[in-house]
Structure formats: C-alpha cells, structure tokens
Amino acid sequence: MGKNKVYILDTNVVLHDYNCLKKFSSADIAIPITVLEEIDDFKKGRDQLNFNAREFIRQLDILTDKRAEDRDAVFTTGVSLGEEKGNLIILSDVKYKNGFEDKFFGDKEDHHILAGAYNYKKLNPEKEVIFVTKDVNLRIKARALGIVSEDYRAGKVKDSEFEVKSNIILKDLPSDLLLELGENGVISPESIKAWYDKKIQPHNFFVLENEELSLLGRYDPFTNKIKLIKPKTIFGISAKNTEQSFAIDLLIDDRVSLITVTGSAGTGKTLLALAASLFRYKKYKQIYLSRPIVPLSNKDIGYLPGTAKNKIEPYMQPLYDNLSFIQDRFKEDDENYQIIDELQKKGKLIIAPLAYIRGRTFSNIFFIVDEAQNLTPHEVKTIVTRAGEGTKIVFTGDINQIDSPFLDRESNGLAYLMDRLKGHKLCGKVVLKVGERSVLSEVASKLL
C-alpha cells in the first residue's frame, strides 16, 4: 500500500484557480499560513486575481467553520473537504529550521512557504508530500530540499492540436468538381471523400486545387456543405494570404458566435477582427475591444502616475493603433472614416480593459479580446459566460508570447478555450502563419 499523498499549495495556485481545493481527488491538501497572508493582500480590487482571492477566502471560511466543536482541527488533524475527499490542513509552522536555513536565507515569503512544506515533510515521513506551485524557480528550490514539486495541472491542455494549421490542402482534384464549387458556390463533403477520408470538423478550411485551378472553401456545419470562399475587402482591409482569407470569411459569419484567431506578431490577428467588427457594425449594438492588463515587471498599474484613464491608456494603445490604421485608409470626407468617428462619439465603439466587464451581460455586441494568451482558463470562462443573445466574441493571441509569469503554452486561457470548444459548430478557429507587417518583422519573428 502506497503512502498517503499530501499536496501543499503555493499562493499562485489559489490565485490561478479559486476552486483548486476540489481538484485533488481524495488526497489531503495543506496550505502554509504564509499563503493566507499573501492572499489577504489580494482581496481588494476589481481584477480577476482579487476576485479569486475573495472567493477562496469564502470557501476556506465555510470549510473551517464546519467543526465548530473543534476550532483548532484545521491546524492539527485537518477538516474534511467533503465526501470522498481528503482533509484540509493549515500549516502554522513556517519557521526556518535545521536543514533549511543553511540552504535558504532572507526573510522572503516564498521561503517561509517552502519552510512550511519542509517542516511538514520532516514531521510526516510516512506521507508522500508534493509541493504544487506555478512558480518554476520555487519548484527548483523545493527539489533542492528533497521535496517533490510539480506544476498545477488542472485546466492544462493535454496536447498541442490547437497549434495545427486550420486548413486542409487537397491536390489533384478533378476540374469538374472545382468548376461545380466555383459556379454553384458549394459542394457536398461526400464529393471529396476519395481525397480526404477523415471526419470533417465544423469550419475546417480547404485549399482545393489541381494543375489548372485553385479554390478556397470552408465546411459549413449549418448546411453540411463545403462553401466557396471568395476574396473580400472588409472596411478597407483585404486578405494578403490564404489564412487571412479564411479569417475574414469566418469573422463576418454571424452564425459563428465564438472565434479564436492565433498567430505570431504581425500576422494581422487584431486588425482583421477589428475590420470585421466595423464591416458588420450595423448588425451589432456595440463594438467592444479589450485586452488584459499585464503590467511591466508585474507591478500594479497603481505605480504609474496620473488618473485611472492615464494609467490604462498605454496598455490599450495597440488597439487604438489598429483602429487608426484602418481609419487612415480612408480620406477624412469618406463615409467609412466618419463612421469610425461617429461610433466612438456615440459610445458604440469602446476600448477598455477586461477588468471593467465584471458583472455585465453583453447582448448583441461584437466583442474582441486581444492578447488572450495572458488570460487564465477561469478568466476566459468568465468572459464567455458574459455573452448574451446576439453576441459574437473573438479571442486573438499568440500562445508563444505569454507575459504572465504563471501561465504557459498549456495552461493559458486561449489554449484551454481552443481545446475545450473544438468541434462545436458555434465555434471556429483560424491559425495565421504568415507575417504581413513588414519583411523585417517576418524575418525577426522567424530568426530572433
């Protein structure tokens, strides 16, 4: 019979997922008291981290109040986490002791959390102690003390399918089949089975070609047909490559309620999403552009001078830049130029941080979330569950360019979203591969 497992959680696990106490099956969970002190510093504010801190504290209060006859149980034997679950223990002994202080010194909270795990492991050699943290450096430090450490795995994507190109290339197709698609605008999925015998997923894109013809198509799950994708200019923006043609076709389809557009810098993710929203502005009550604020060096924006608006503007500037790029394609007396000004004046085109959406319901809105790779899975869920009737949400981002210190390619919200919603007809994805910002930008993206 193996040892009883005890998972000791770091602060960043709680802030990443306030429901983390429910994710460890029947194992015991221990929390160093220093973690509670750190969480207390996060309980005030409007950001997702603040919300997570408050929710976790509420859960902790309910759990520790179950044993009214023994208030100290949570610090000794532990309190039950529920039926077929383990116990929750709060570790109050976080002092540096022999074997610890000769490796780590300095009065750092991270070291006190590690000391709590170290002391518990020494007192309970019969148990398998596992330290869980999203901090890579802290995992290495734990291993230096002989403590098994691992990343928090709940919500992680198990494979890398979200990176695969969204288009399927079929060659040497008969000319009469391509002519049928070109003339009628649709062909049946059965007509290409001899060249593609795998199951066709909703919104799969196709490059259909032979030596004479080459056409683009998308499988439409609403009609069970492969429809022709024709070149289209939307609010002054035209596709510069095949993937951008796919993106435009999907973005302006009102039946598709959730779209992810991924790609490296300069591939046109945000620009295409914004152009599509302006192209369809009459269909929606409002266009809402947003992105998470990930401050430099992880310092809160309160460190910056000025008003709240002044603090936020630098983080929103890339969205304004894309809007200006589209508007500058028209002369000032052009109707499209004036439409953009009018939408902003009437509050129908809003650029704001994601922290401002909590508690709101978005009905009949074209909602663009930029830099979505910096969101947690829970934050992505919060955004999507805000969607009311008639709303379209577009998430853009690059899973290889994550600014949050506690997210990676497998645990970020954008990858989680693509993995969980793949195959649903209301959801589509486009992977942009070719940089179009400039030749220099594309070379730098590949080589640097």
Chain centroid offset of residue 319 CA: 18
Give domain status of residue 129, yes or no: yes
Give domain status of residue 234, yes or no: no
Please count the structural domains in the chain.
3
**Per-residue pLDDT at 240:** 94
CB 203 within 8 A of CB 225: no
Which residues, 6+ apart, have CB-to-CB distance to 374 below 8 Å?
Answer: 292, 294, 397, 402, 403, 404, 407, 412
**Per-residue pLDDT at 294:** 64
Residue 68: pLDDT band by 50, 70, 90 thresholds? low
State yes or no: pLDDT of 1 exceeds 50.
no
**Per-residue pLDDT at 111:** 93
Helix (H, G, I), strand (E, B) or coil at 38: helix
**Per-residue pLDDT at 299:** 44
Please give the average per-residue pLDDT across 108-125, as a whole number: 93
pLDDT above 70 coverage of the chain, percent = 90
Please give the backbone phi and psi of residue 424, each rounded to the nearest 5 degrees, phi first. -95, 135
Domain boundary among 208, 229, 250: 229
Asked whether the CA dihedral 405, 409, 411, 416 is positive or negative, the reply is positive
Give domain status of residue 405, yes or no: yes
**Per-residue pLDDT at 435:** 80
Shared domain check, 164 and 145:
no
Q: Which of 156-160, 357-361, 378-382 has the lowest mean pLDDT?
A: 156-160
Q: Per-residue pLDDT tens for 395-433?
A: 999 998 888 888 888 889 999 999 999 899 999 999 998
Shared domain check, 177 and 293:
no
Residue 45: pLDDT band by 50, 70, 90 thresholds? confident
Which residues, 6+ apart, have CB-to-CB distance to 102 below 8 Å?
Answer: none
Residue 226: pLDDT band by 50, 70, 90 thresholds? very high
d(CA 382, CA 390): 18
**Per-residue pLDDT at 163:** 58
State yes or no: pLDDT of 244 exceeds 70.
yes
pLDDT above 90 coverage of the chain, percent = 65
Domain boundary among 106, 122, 149: 149
Shared domain check, 199 and 92:
no
**∠ Cα 389 368 439 (to 5°):** 150
Please give the average per-residue pLDDT across 65-69, as a whole number: 61
Residue 67: pLDDT band by 50, 70, 90 thresholds? low
441: tokens are 């930008």
Please give the average per-residue pLDDT across 362-367, as a whole number: 94
Give domain status of residue 236, yes or no: no
Residue 113: pLDDT band by 50, 70, 90 thresholds? very high
Which residues, 6+ apart, have CB-to-CB distance to 256 below 8 Å?
Answer: 203, 250, 392, 426, 427, 428
Q: What CATH number has the domain bearing residue 379?
A: 3.40.50.300
d(CA 272, CA 96): 55
**Per-residue pLDDT at 392:** 97
Q: Which of 12-21, 301-310, 369-378, 381-390 has the lowest mean pLDDT?
A: 301-310
State yes or no: pLDDT of 331 exceeds 60.
yes
Q: What CATH number has the domain bearing residue 26?
A: 3.40.50.1010
Q: What CATH number has the domain bearing residue 219?
A: 2.30.130
User: What is the residue range of 389's domain?
Assistant: 241-445
Q: Which residue has the higher pLDDT, 342 or 362?
A: 342
Shared domain check, 255 and 137:
no
Shared domain check, 310 and 408:
yes
Give residue 169's identity as a one-letter amino acid code: I
**Per-residue pLDDT at 165:** 60
26: tokens are 């029947």
**Per-residue pLDDT at 48:** 81
**Per-residue pLDDT at 349:** 94
Give domain status of residue 38, yes or no: yes
**Per-residue pLDDT at 160:** 54
Q: Per-residue pLDDT tens for 151-162?
A: 998 878 865 555
Give domain status of residue 235, yes or no: no
**Per-residue pLDDT at 10:** 97
Domain boundary among 149, 174, 198: 149
Shared domain check, 308 and 219:
no
Shared domain check, 179 and 120:
no
Residue 186: pLDDT band by 50, 70, 90 thresholds? very high
**Per-residue pLDDT at 37:** 95
Q: Which residues of 57-91 are buried (b: 16+ CB within 10 A; e: fewer)?
A: bebbeebbeeeeeeeebbeeebbebeeebbbbbbb
Give domain status of residue 339, yes or no: yes
Please give the average per-residue pLDDT across 56-69, as a whole number: 80
Residue 247: pLDDT band by 50, 70, 90 thresholds? very high
Shared domain check, 407 and 425:
yes
Q: Per-residue pLDDT tens for 266-310?
A: 899 999 999 999 999 999 999 999 988 765 334 445 545 555 556
Shared domain check, 165 and 274:
no
pLDDT, averaged across the chain: 88
Shared domain check, 83 and 120:
yes
Could you tell me the maximum CA-CA distance found in the chain, to the nearest angstrom?
Answer: 83
Shared domain check, 122 and 221:
no
Shared domain check, 393 and 441:
yes
Q: Residue 7 pairs with which residues in a beta bridge?
A: 29, 130
